[in-house]
Structures are given as C-alpha cells and as structure tokens.
Structure 1
Amino acid sequence: MEVGSMVLVVGAGPTGLALACGLLSHGIPVRVVDRAAGPAVTSRANFVHARGSEVLARLGALGDLPTESLRAMKVTTYLGDRPLATVRFGDPTLRTAAAPMVVSQARVEAALRDRLTALGGRIDWKAGLTGLDQDDTGVTVTLGTGESVRADWVVGCDGTGSATREQAGIGFPGVRISERYLLADLHIDWDLDRDGTTGWVSPAGMVGAMPMPGPGEDLWRLLAYDPTSAQGRPTEQEIMDRFRRILPERTGHTDAHIRDVTWASVFTVHRRLADTYRQGRVLLAGDAAHVHAPFGGQGMLTGLGDAENLAWKLALVVREHASESLLDTYQAERRPLAAQVLRGTTAVTRVNIAANPVGRFVRDRVVAPLLNLAPVQRLASYSASQLWVSYRTGPLGAGRLGHKPRPGDRVPDLACTHPDGRPTRLHTELGGRFALLVPDDAPGWSPNQWGVTLRFTEGRPGEAWLVRPDAHLAWRGRDPASLARWMTETLTTGPTR
C-alpha cells in the first residue's frame, strides 16, 4: 500500500487535471489516476468560454491555445433556406485572458497535462478506482491494477459514470432522456461560412455545423438530433453515411460532399445532479457531480470552475491553515451554479428540438426574432461566458447589498503595481494565491501572509481588497485588524454565513 500525505485525483479529464495543477501549485502532493489506457485524441466538448480561459491562464496552462483555436463567434440558424436568427458572441467588454475559443477538449487536456508535468505531477493510466473505504484520518482506495492507495482526500473527477461517486454512496438523481444525437468530425467540401456555427431546424430534427481547427479549411464538427435512427452503437462508417442523408434533407445543401470521417460518436442526453459534493473525505467535481445537455459549451467550463474553487480550499485544509468546514463552502458555492446551468441547457435543448406545432411556432416566431436584437445577444454572450458567476449569497459572501464588487463577486483583471515597483495585472499575480490590493496612501498594511500585496493603479477605491485565488473578492475594508478577524473566522472557526 502506498502511504503518505496526498490528494488522490480520480480522472484525468479537464476537471481532474485542473484540480491537480491547482493543488500542485500550492505544494500539495497529488496523484492522478485514470481507468483509460491513455489520453483521448478527440472529444465531444470543443468550446472554451471566457471564464474557462481565465482559469487556464491562472493555472499557467493557457499557453498557445488562443492562437491554435478558431474564433467562430457567430451562430446562424436557418429554417430550410430562410435565416431565423444570427447571434454574435464574443468577449462581453470585460477583461479576460482570451476571447471564446473553438478548440477540442482533447487539446485543452494536452495543455493541462503539459502544465501538470512542469509542476512535477504525472498520470497513472489503466488505474481506475474499484474500491473505496474511508475513516476519520483518510481514505483507502483500491485501483484496477490491484494496488491499494492511502490518501488524505479523494476527489472524483471521473465523469458521468463515476466509480468514486458510486463507491462513496452519493446519489445522482435525474433522468436519461431519449434525445439521441449523432456527432462527427468530417472533412466536407461545401460552400459554408467558417466564421461561425450554422444550425438548421426542421420537423425531422436539428443539425449543427461548426468549423474545427486543423490543417486546411475543410474540417467540420456535425451534430444531428436523430431519435429515430437504429438502436445500438453505429460504426463510424454508418454515422458518416447517415450524415450524407441528413445534410441534404434538413439543410438543402445538396452540394455538400463528405469525403471522410476522423471521429464519430453517438450519445443521449443525461440531466443529473449529485445529492452532495462531499461525503467525508471524498469530494466530487465536474461531470461526476453534474451532467446536462451539451448545448452552450457549459460542461467543460463548469468543471474547470469547480476545480479552481476546490483547489485553493482543499490546499488550505491539507496544509492545516483552515478547518474542514471551509470545504463545505465548495458545495455551497458551486452546486447552485450547476443547477442553474442544468436548467438553462435543458431549456435550450427543448427549443432546439421542438417537434410539436406550438413549440416550433414559439421558437420560429418568438425566440428567433428576439435573438436578433443586440441587447439580447450581449446578454446571451455574457450568460455563456460565466463571467457573471458570483458567490455573494453564499457562506463566504456578503449578500446583495453594498458597493460593487461585493465579497463573492468576480474581480476584473485590474492593473496594479507589484511590490518591486513593476506594473502588473491582478489575475497574473493570483496563480493559486490570495492577492491583497491596497491603496498607495493607506499605511498599516503588513505583507500578505497568504499571497502577494499589490498596489492599486486602477480603481483606487480608498480601501483594501482581499482577492481569492479564483479571482473572487474575499473581503474589502479599511482596517487591517478587521481583515485579520475575517481570516481567523473564515479559515479557523469556519464561515459565519
């Protein structure tokens, strides 16, 4: 049995890798295991919104992803050959690490694996979790290799069919809807705009086409609602043949020539939310805790947010700088967001696959015209970005009253000054640690024991701000003694709200 003070991360997808990188950046020993034989070469998820780029940047894993990705920031929907709506997405005027990116989840995982290696971490493949037994001091895990591992904490990031969740006895209520979809990456010769995603709605079902990065200008991701296709798992050739029939029937593009397929899959939609994100020393994150329809690119984004939120809290607990009660704020902050995302993606799915006359009328005559309005498009872009996420009503927040940003709100990437006098930016200095922003004319602030002390060069509110490692405001005020009390109450005795 392997024995030692460490966190065992089960699952080497984007959530597990992000969590492991976050913990390693705090100096916490981590072991990552995964039941797969090796890294995925492609994936269903292929979109990273603004908040996801921020998380990757703070982890040091953003790298060249912005230059490798596409900027297909437009979604055009057709009914036959008649345009219904064109929605333009983009950076909603808030400073972010990168604009929304069309990039495969597999490429995001590769960037995170590179960062994991640079931090001294590694992944054990073919080593899924098969057994779990916890007590007051730790967790004993059995792996598929037969190895027994002892860890202080275990975090299940092992997807919808999470063995960690099942072994911990955590319920995963919800439904599996008979919404069967075909998905494929195909080389297609046709005259279609690569500046954005195109969708077609028809009584037979929706079809979507998204340009994908790669050599040449002919790689496309196709998605089709196909509830009446044959049961069982079709081969890649069968999926490609099905798309050859679907495209002219539903889009009118008789000129589309599908040359070959690079990857194909079929899936049905699950809508589930774990009863709890923590059972003793076992925690859940990402798809192991919540799963929903893929529309809107919210799955990987929400998982990355889970990982960043949990990493700094778990690190403080492992290092005995905080009590275990801090971990309860992870669920309090992240589970309501997952529930909201589930509701939103469910609503979008119902609009996309509306089959009855009333549903189609509402979609085509009510929803579509609204989506052509600029204010609605800005709202849609902002909603998809998750830059609006706030924890102000949670146990670490300060409620809805007070000056913005309130404790719990996201803090923009402000310009500031480093202690050595050089100009810098707030999000650059976080990197897994707290940042204390203080005014130039405010004496009495000692060095920040939890991170770095910076000077405002933008905003200058006349008070100090303590910013969490995940870029949310932790505290604001003018009295250093008040900050010391807040740290003691929050970390030692537990949150007061």
Structure 2
Amino acid sequence: MHTDVLVVGAGPTGLALGIDLARRGVDALVVERGETLAPGSRGKGIQPRTMEVYEDLGVLDEILAAGGPYPVGMIWQDGRQAGEHRMFDPAEDGEEGSRFTAPWMVPQWRNQEILRTRLAELGGEVLFGHELVRIEQDPEGVTAHFATGAPVRARYAVAADGGRSAVRRALGVAMAGETVDPDPLLVADVRIPGLGREWWHVFPPGTPGGEGTGSASGFLALCPLAGTEDFQLVARFPDGTGIDLSPDGVRKVVGERTHLAPGEVTEVRWTSDFRPRAALADRFREGRVFLAGDAAHIHSPAGGQGLNTSVQDAYNLGWKLGAVLGGRAAESLLDTYEEERRPVAARMLGLSTAIHRDEARRGAGTRQLGLNYRESSLTRETRTVPGVLRAGDRIPDVTVDGVRLFDRLKGPDWTLLTLPDGVFLVRPDGYAGWAGATTDGLAEYRARVGA
C-alpha cells in the first residue's frame, strides 16, 4: 500500500492528525495495532484550547453533546460529607479571549469515537489489527512492516502510538524522564447506581470507610463521567503493592476505602494500573518520521495536560505536512514542528508534575490558552512597538465590528487580519505568524511559509 502520510496509532493524537490531513486533501492512512479503538475513560478532560481546536476540526458540537462540566469535589469523612473541594481555579467569561473557561469532560473512548466518525466523513479510514514490527527509511520515504498484512510505503510517517511507542523504539529515539510518584494507581470505569452524580466523590487517605468499617489505606476518588452512567475510579496504593484488577478486587477497594458496600459496584467495565511518570523524547523528528502525543511526551494525569498537548501536536504538524506535500513550502518547514512543540511539551510536563505534587494549581496554565510561539523561527514581528497581540500569539476568540474572528479563521488556510493595532497573517493553527504596521515585507514571508 502507498500513502503520503502513515499515522501509527488511532488514539486522539492520530485521529486528530488524520482529520487535519484529510480536510487538506492529503492522502493519509491511520493504522492501529488493536482490533478496536482503545477502551476506557483514560484522559477525560478537554481543555479550553483543545475545544477551540475541535471547533476548527468540525467535532465541537458532538463533543459538547457527549460531555459536560466537571462537578465540584465532595470530601467524605467517616461516611459523612465533610466539605466541598474545587479542582480548578475558575476563569471569568472572556478572560483569556475564549468562549471556553474550564475543561469539558468527555471519556476518552467517546472522544475517540467522535474523532473517528469525523475522519470517516472526510474519507479517511483506520486499519485495525496492524501491529508495527519494523520501520525503514530512505531518502524518498518510509516503509512500515506489520505483524500481519502488507507493508505500507509513505512519504512521511507519524508515531502516535502511545507511551510505549513501537515506532520510537524502532527509531532508537531515547526518552528521558522520572517517576513522578512511586505509588501506583488503579483506574477503573465502574457503575454504582446508588451514588449521587452531582459530586466528584473524594475519600482522602487515612479515612476509614463508612459506619466504622474498612481500611485506613490510601486515597480513592469516584468521578461521574459526563454523558455516561459510569464513574471513573482512581485509587492510590503504597509502593510495592500488587494491584488486583479483577472486578472483585475493584469492589474490595471500594468497600475498604468508602462508605459503600462492595456489592454496590454493579459493573466493572474497564481497569488499568500505572505508575505516574514524566518523560520527554530526545527529539520529535528522525528523518521522515515524527513523534507526537504520548510517543513524544508522557505526563502525570493530574494536570489534565497529556491528551490536550497531544492533540495540539497534531494540529501543529498537520498544516506543515500539508504545505510541504502540496508543494507550497520547502521541506525545511517540517523542522519547525520539533522547534515549536518540544518546548511546549517540556513546559506542560513541568506543570503536570508540579500539580501532581501539590506544588501548583489547576489554573490558567492548564487551560493552554496562553501558549505561544513568539520565539519560533516561523514568527516574524515587524512592528517597532508591538501591541498587546504579538506575532506568535494565539488569536483570541473575539468579535470585531460584528464579525467573530474565529468564524474567519475556520478551515485549513492562512488568514490575513487587519485590526486597529496592525496587520496579522494567521497560521492555519490559529497563531499569528507575521505581524506588521502595514503589509510591507509580507509577500516575502508568505513565499517562505507557503501561505
């Protein structure tokens, strides 16, 4: 089989990239080692900046319909409600130039379904049951070999196959990191019909279960998953503990750490365990292969940054691949993917780790609206006195003279904006690439970036 771009992995990263390439008319193929999309709620929080990306990719309405806002946390002590806990620092409406002010909850399995449906609408597809075993490169392209099925020949490939990326290992790209927390976590999707869904139920460590029974061991939380009948259970265990992932094991820990009886957990729909880590790949590009998402950076789930940083990797890379493959830009444009995204991933890793260790809050930084590319080699600020909005900044979601800027920015193309404080050429991913008091010098910039 032949394609322009081979995307390995059908998680949110790979599916978002597939959508972005498909709407640009790029011949792309998404392959997935599993026989279906990955199950489980996993990364359930979609941050405001990612919601803006989803609007541009054409899935916002479905995402809004499938999810809901996060509930307030309720702390339990000895079977009684002991007080509320707010997980996120609130933002005022319009504070950061966005219609979104807080994360939106959609279980990852549902997020993936929505993205796959959109990919199919655009003519794209996912080939399941394709486990990569070897990848080869030459000056003209990449050849991927799978455990079953024919090899795939592509001009470029993207590793979006997760933290244990087979592509990254095959390329020999190292990933440096640290254990964020030595204590392992159990994550499960469960059904507890008798438990109220108006709260994110939190049972602190050292808190016995209700009615004087149970264990004084670690933390447990039950978060109602918006748009479903499920709760996401997270439980922390001491280092060295073997975690029982069976339904009975899950029911047992609920009975030990909460006021609920084990039998009140009527279904255990999915389970997983992991040890929180933070890791960053040494490079995001090796020849004609790019690393994106968890294949490039692994986060603690505490900050809700992993999935969101990953989708925005895809959003950054998609337009650059489209420009080069379409002959509108030089191949060197692709070098700016690592230049721009690796520093962002490093900052988000630091934030996620700090939140996990209670050294930082879930506030403006986690919403990712303030991220910018001011230092990128693609960014050109030509004004001697820049205004508030500078080259490299995200264009805010505001209305000017009755026109919503985001309505003008939608789609896969560059956009020229003339505002009171300057002229801006906006990249396809919504950041100002060039800014000037007039259009002097703009033509040269456009030729360089294929705008």
CA deviation digits over 1:202-257, x for unaligned, max 9? Answer: 254322221112456xx321211112574266323212222221224xxxx78994
One-letter amino acid of the structure 1 residue matched with residue 373 of structure 2 = Y
In 2, the alpha carbon distance for the partners of 1:381 and 1:76 equals 19
What's the counterpart of residue 182 of structure 2? 178
Which of 428, 433, 436 is the equivalent residue of 2:416? 436
Q: Give identity over the alignment, percent.
A: 33
2:222 to 203, 206, 209: 209
- DSSP 3-state at the match of 1:320: coil
Secondary structure at 1:183 match in 2 = strand
Q: Is the 8 A contact 1:189 1:256 kept in 2?
A: no
Q: Please point out which of 53, 58, 79 is paired with 1:55.
A: 53
Seen in structure 2, the aligned counterparts of structure 1 residues 144 and 74 have a Cα distance that, compared at 3 Å, is same
SS in structure 1 opposite 2:157?
Answer: strand
Match of 1:472 among 417, 431, 451: 431
Which amino acid is 2:20 matched to? G
Farther-moved stretch of structure 1 (133-142 vs 169-178): 169-178
Match in the other structure for 1:20: 18
| Pairing 1:405–2:377 present | no
Task: Say if 1:92 and 1:127 are closer, same or farther in 2 by CA, change over 3 A.
Answer: farther
Name the amino acid aligned to 2:93.
T
CA distance in 1, matches of 2:407, 2:338: 24
Gaps of 5+ in 1: 352-362, 372-379, 439-459, 493-497
Q: CA deviation at 1:128?
A: 2.1
Greater displacement, 7-16 / 146-155 = 146-155
Counterparts of 2:105 and 2:138, CA distance in 1: 44
- Alpha-carbon offset, residue 20 of structure 1: 0.9
1:389 matched to 2:371: yes
Which residue of 143, 146, 167 maps to 1:143?
146
CA shift in 2, pair 1:232/1:272, >3 Å: same
User: What is the aligned partner in structure 2 of residue 9 from structure 1?
Assistant: 7
In 1, Cα distance between the equivalents of 2:270 and 2:27? 36
Contact 1:53 1:97 in 2 (8 A): no
| 1:473 counterpart letter in structure 2 | A
Q: How does 1:105-254 map to 2 (within 5 A)?
A: 105-176=108-179, 178-189=182-193, 192=196, 194-203=197-206, 204-214=217-227, 219-227=230-238, 230-231=241-242, 234-248=245-259
Aligned length: 433
Residues 37-93 of structure 1: per-residue CA shift (max 9 Å, x gap)? 112342311111111111111111223221321212534557776548534555553
CA shift in 2, pair 1:401/1:15, >3 Å? farther
Q: How does 1:304-383 map to 2 (within 5 A)?
A: 304-351=311-358, 380-383=362-365
Deviations 1:439-485 (A, max 9, x none): xxxxxxxxxxxxxxxxxxxxx41532111111111112243341112
Task: Say if 1:43 and 1:105, in contact at 8 Å, map to a contact too.
Answer: yes
Structure 1 position 283 matched with structure 2 position 290: yes
Separation in structure 1 between the aligned mates of residue 329 and residue 235 of structure 2, nearest angstrom: 48
Contact 1:181 1:227 in 2 (8 A): no
The one-letter amino acid of 1:120's match is: G
2:307 maps to 300
- The SS at the match of 1:480 is coil
Q: Which amino acid aligns with 1:93?
A: D
Higher mean alpha-carbon deviation, 271-280 vs 422-431, is at 422-431
Given the superposition, is the C-alpha separation of residues 9 and 416 from structure 1 closer, same or farther in structure 2, using an over 3 Å criterion? farther
Letter in 2 for 1:144: A
Greater shift in the superposed pair: 207-216 or 58-67: 207-216
CA distance in 1, matches of 2:194, 2:347: 38
CA distance in 2, matches of 1:319, 1:388: 31
Partner of residue 426, structure 1: 406
Q: Which amino acid aligns with 1:3?
A: H
- C-alpha change, 1:198 and 1:336, in structure 2 (3 Å) is farther
Change (3 A) 1:388 1:74: farther
Query: Structure 2 vs 1, CA of residues 479 and 292 (structure 1 numbering), >3 Å: closer, same or farther?
Result: same
Deviation per residue, 1:85-138 (Å, 9 max, x gap): 534555553354655211111111111111101111001000122111111111
Distance 2:243 2:69 in 1: 36
- More moved, 333-342 vs 299-308: 333-342
Give the root-mean-square deviation of aligned CA atoms. 2.8
Where 1:466 maps in the other structure, the secondary structure is strand
Q: Equivalent residue for 1:441?
A: none
Task: Work out the CA distance in 2 between the residues paired with 1:242 and 1:401.
Answer: 60
Contact 1:74 1:196 (C-alpha < 8 Å) held by counterparts? yes
Q: Which residue type is aligned with residue 431 of structure 1?
A: G
1:452 aligns with: none
Structure 1 counterpart SS, 2:10: coil
Q: In structure 1, what is the Cα distance between the partners aligned to 2:380 and 2:355?
A: 32
- Whether the 8 Å CA contact 1:22–1:308 is kept in 2: the answer is yes
Q: Which residue does 1:446 correspond to in 2?
A: none
Q: Compare 238-247 and 121-130 and name the one that shifted more.
A: 238-247
| 1: CA distance, partners of 2:277 / 2:205 | 23
Whether the aligned pair in 1 keeps the contact of 2:182 and 2:239 (CA below 8 Å) is no
2:50–2:311 CA contact under 8 A, matched in 1: yes
| Cα distance in 2, alignment partners of residues 87 and 15 from structure 1 | 26
Q: Which runs of 5+ in 2 are unaligned?
A: 207-216
After superposition, what is the alpha-carbon deviation per residue over 1:311-336, rounded to whole angstroms, capped at 9, x for unaligned? 11111111121122211211121111
8 Å CA contact 1:188–1:258 kept in 2: the answer is yes
Query: Letter of the aligned partner of 2:371 in structure 1?
Result: V
Residue in structure 1 matched with residue 213 of structure 2 by the alignment? none
Tell me the amino acid that sits aligned with residue 314 of structure 1: L
* Distance change in 2, residues 1:476/1:230 (3 Å): closer
**Structure 2 CA distance for aligned equivalents of residues 3 and 72 of structure 1:** 43
